[in-house]
Structure 1
């Protein structure tokens, strides 16, 4: 092989890992004459990564607005108040983060979570005990007897240290906790025979242990409080209709109603905890179980139980986001939050050109425009072998970002990182989604918000293969921006 071929081969080999999303690929360099300030701050990502979350600035227009492609903001029409956007810090994600050098990790976490110097991710989800992306299967009370509750190595060595580093960057971060299973000694094979179910997978919570399991949640929240970590919200069970995950536990709506009404809700209240409880935490289509349709609404029909629930949480592994609107219409006084979605080999998860557009449409804007107060995607970080993972869990998933196992430094950013960043960078916790009117077109989706500091935020998806010069008008000021083909653009400005 001659020298030219050797150089070419080496170049191709070194770029294999980064070719699908690294911010070193196809990035348009900053031009020296580009403004570094202006009336409007803009972030742009194209599916080709010719613009990779590129920050730019423009000023308000000084001329009359005659553009036929004008979108007007209407802050007299108000929808939901936003809680935040983020991703899951699983045991696997925490493990990978801690394999980085402290300097590299600090840089990445600041870019991800800083409200002033980064994307400002503001809401994360963690497991209560193990998840299917933990380093092992465990709960916080594996030895029978609630007195034996204790945080385990995965929390102490991995998850809690990472949470503390993130909270130092963003102290207002919201944290949601979800269990994948109760301790095995609390589980039964069914609610008729109440036979023992000594398995991490499936089974039901034994009503005999409702009170102990309510105490389990209280002890977990208090244990993290002692570490300086406040838990904003919980769900009683991750994917309560899934009996195949590792780990997992079935909790039909009748069971969740009874558990929260008689144990979890009263236990939290007695302990003086204000942690929000969200029902369900599973798919839009209720896994095609007819008797479980409208799961949260059926719980809300019990007034005593309903009083303990802030709302309901959803995943998108089955069904359509329109279910959010349906549930909102049936229970308009209850919140909705989107808590999990995954990318992997099954849906071209490392094909940014495809996934950026679809995930922005279906997950980010799709859920927010159907009343979701927050959006959380699955693992923040996996490694280049899609791990650490284990048998029984997902072995084909990618993270929001993937880090190379060769150096624990080289990072590939996937669609989930971008879609959350485009929301969290301009839409701040407490923002209110507001109305819009004017220009609409096939392939164009957007949402508008008013932040608590009086600034506006606008997030737009252009699915089409053509650029489009879009004008935004808040009633006082207007400006135009050339939106690239197949791109996501986020804007923020003050009136």
Structure 2
């Protein structure tokens, strides 16, 4: 009996030591694998090394540090992607079969490319269409002539190919304007407003769109109510005040979707710049009858049109005000296309800077604008030519990869849907960073060097640090 008791005590001690060792091992970060893109070099999401962690308790003020706090978890990551517009689909159709396959791999293949999982598209025409069109004949309030035949030529085939390549995707759609006959201006372009007598007909239009796309085998995850509802543009546009968007949602669109079996569709409001973000969110979400239909608040990055800086802090304020709602970046691109700036590094930096700040302020997903444009930055039926991360030169048949593609890839290739944002901070303003923990437990930190010099910095995690270097103006992804 004494021997048995002694044996049990020894076993308990050994088991306890084994358990403690396991817990300690779990706190030991894996080696850091480094991927780097840098200007004036061949580094483009290139694996540039692997470093180990070592114990380190107290950094010095003279050291540049990124502090990662893995026990402080924030929003769940939805994904990253871009918009398949009419323009993108028309350019894609002009590429050779080999270049089409290269393009699909570049965006949607998780191994060969950057692993896009979000797709946005336009509900009938937008500026990045070859011309204005709708899905109904003019004056058809009852929508008896509704047809998406136009989209079957280019857009639907590309969406299907992208989804097949990506696997599980989040697909959502946005209108730029109701048909002209539904508006007070009788014009799809240059703003105008939806007439009250067409509120129900327009709500029915969304239902028809979702049902038609799903009949094509394209599952629709969500909708935004109106692209840029406070912008009178020379292209398709429509104005809603915050109160008008709120009332259209709660009295018409929300109930209509529910009545037609689409209550699980994710509805995103605003879909415009960060500048008026808090005002739109509060007007809609402080109304319980409207808020119950809202999945999230969408935003763009064009608030710097006035010469000011991006209003990243407004995203964080909405996240604090309404933590139960989601923030989704729904559009951004570099405007004013010029072929001379295909490789302009600052265009990519704009993406990296925005994505880091938006994710640190609670954003769950990030959607670029056109995934493909031609060598003129179009087609665009009003001449609003812009950049996309990849251009297809229809005269040479070649694909042109811009820095923006690689900057986006530093996030989308390594951060997986379902990841959790992890609190992190940086000790000096020369670096900015964001961190996620993937579902498999690995940590991913994306770092940008905002300075003109190579920097040495410490990555700190659980009182373990790894000493790393980042080239001037470079972006790095750290996986550990």
TM-score band by shorter chain is 0.7 to 0.9
Matches within 5 A, 1:368-383: 368-383=359-374
Structure 1 residue 120: Cα displacement: 0.7
The equivalent of 1:427 in structure 2 is 415
Matches within 5 A, 1:370-409: 370-391=361-382, 393-395=383-385, 397-409=386-398
Q: Render the CA deviation track for 1:121-173: whole Å, top value 9, x for unaligned.
A: 121211011111012101122341312211032x1111111111111111211
The equivalent of 2:148 in structure 1 is 151
Cα separation, 2, equivalents of 1:122 and 1:233: 14
Structure 1 residue 293: Cα displacement: 6.5
Does 2:161 match 1:165? yes
For the residue of structure 2 that corresponds to 1:398, the secondary structure is coil
Does 2:215 match 1:226? yes
Does 2:283 match 1:298? yes
The equivalent of 1:5 in structure 2 is none
Does 2:351 match 1:359? yes
The equivalent of 2:295 in structure 1 is 310
Q: Which runs of 5+ in 1 are unaligned?
A: 1-37, 190-196, 287-291
Match among 89, 100, 108 for residue 105 of structure 1: 100
Q: Render the CA deviation track for 1:257-298: whole Å, top value 9, x for unaligned.
A: 111111211122222221211111112224xxxxx9711210
The equivalent of 1:210 in structure 2 is 199
Cα separation, 1, equivalents of 2:459 and 2:430: 17
Structure 1 residue 59: Cα displacement: 5.1
Cα separation, 1, equivalents of 2:155 and 2:281: 30
Match among 119, 127, 132 for residue 122 of structure 2: 127
Cα separation, 2, equivalents of 1:147 and 1:346: 40
Structure 1 residue 57: Cα displacement: 4.8
Matches within 5 A, 1:456-475: 456-475=443-462
Relative to structure 1, the CA distance from residue 107 to residue 70 in structure 2 (aligned partners, 3 Å threshold; closer, same or farther) is same
Cα separation, 2, equivalents of 1:48 and 1:359: 18
Match among 453, 468, 479 for residue 481 of structure 1: 468
Aligned length: 437
Structure 1 residue 436: Cα displacement: 2.3
For the residue of structure 1 that corresponds to 2:144, the secondary structure is helix
Does 2:429 match 1:442? yes
Match among 241, 252, 257 for residue 252 of structure 1: 241
Cα separation, 2, equivalents of 1:279 and 1:89: 20
Cα separation, 2, equivalents of 1:111 and 1:467: 29
Cα separation, 2, equivalents of 1:403 and 1:315: 25
Does 2:342 match 1:350? yes
Relative to structure 1, the CA distance from residue 488 to residue 146 in structure 2 (aligned partners, 3 Å threshold; closer, same or farther) is same
The equivalent of 1:13 in structure 2 is none
Q: Render the CA deviation track for 1:424-456: whole Å, top value 9, x for unaligned.
A: 01111111111125x522220001111112121
Q: Render the CA deviation track for 1:12-66: whole Å, top value 9, x for unaligned.
A: xxxxxxxxxxxxxxxxxxxxxxxxxx954432111224312213452534x5448
Relative to structure 1, the CA distance from residue 120 to residue 384 in structure 2 (aligned partners, 3 Å threshold; closer, same or farther) is same
Structure 1 residue 111: Cα displacement: 2.1
Q: Render the CA deviation track for 1:224-254: whole Å, top value 9, x for unaligned.
A: 1122211222111001111223111112112
Relative to structure 1, the CA distance from residue 99 to residue 55 in structure 2 (aligned partners, 3 Å threshold; closer, same or farther) is farther
The equivalent of 1:455 in structure 2 is 442
Cα separation, 2, equivalents of 1:492 and 1:280: 34
Relative to structure 1, the CA distance from residue 243 to residue 401 in structure 2 (aligned partners, 3 Å threshold; closer, same or farther) is same
Structure 1 residue 199: Cα displacement: 4.2
The alignment's C-alpha RMSD in Å is 2.3
Contact 1:359 1:415 in 2 (8 A): no
For the residue of structure 1 that corresponds to 2:154, the secondary structure is helix
Relative to structure 1, the CA distance from residue 229 to residue 346 in structure 2 (aligned partners, 3 Å threshold; closer, same or farther) is closer
Structure 1 residue 487: Cα displacement: 0.3
For the residue of structure 2 that corresponds to 1:146, the secondary structure is coil
Task: Please identify, of 376-385 and 201-210, the stretch whose mean Cα deviation from structure 2 is larger.
Answer: 201-210
Q: Render the CA deviation track for 1:164-204: whole Å, top value 9, x for unaligned.
A: 11111112111121000112222124xxxxxxx24433221
Contact 1:355 1:415 in 2 (8 A): yes
Contact 1:483 1:489 in 2 (8 A): yes
Relative to structure 1, the CA distance from residue 458 to residue 283 in structure 2 (aligned partners, 3 Å threshold; closer, same or farther) is same
Cα separation, 1, equivalents of 2:41 and 2:254: 47
Cα separation, 1, equivalents of 2:188 and 2:367: 29
Does 2:273 match 1:283? yes
Cα separation, 2, equivalents of 1:164 and 1:57: 37
The equivalent of 1:34 in structure 2 is none
Cα separation, 2, equivalents of 1:344 and 1:308: 33
Contact 1:89 1:159 in 2 (8 A): yes
Task: Please identify, of 325-334 and 445-454, the stretch whose mean Cα deviation from structure 2 is larger.
Answer: 325-334
Contact 1:47 1:352 in 2 (8 A): no
Relative to structure 1, the CA distance from residue 275 to residue 415 in structure 2 (aligned partners, 3 Å threshold; closer, same or farther) is farther
The equivalent of 1:42 in structure 2 is 34
Larger of the two Rg values belongs to structure: 2
Could you state the TM-score of these two structures normalised by the residue count of structure 1?
Answer: 0.83
Cα separation, 1, equivalents of 2:346 and 2:51: 32
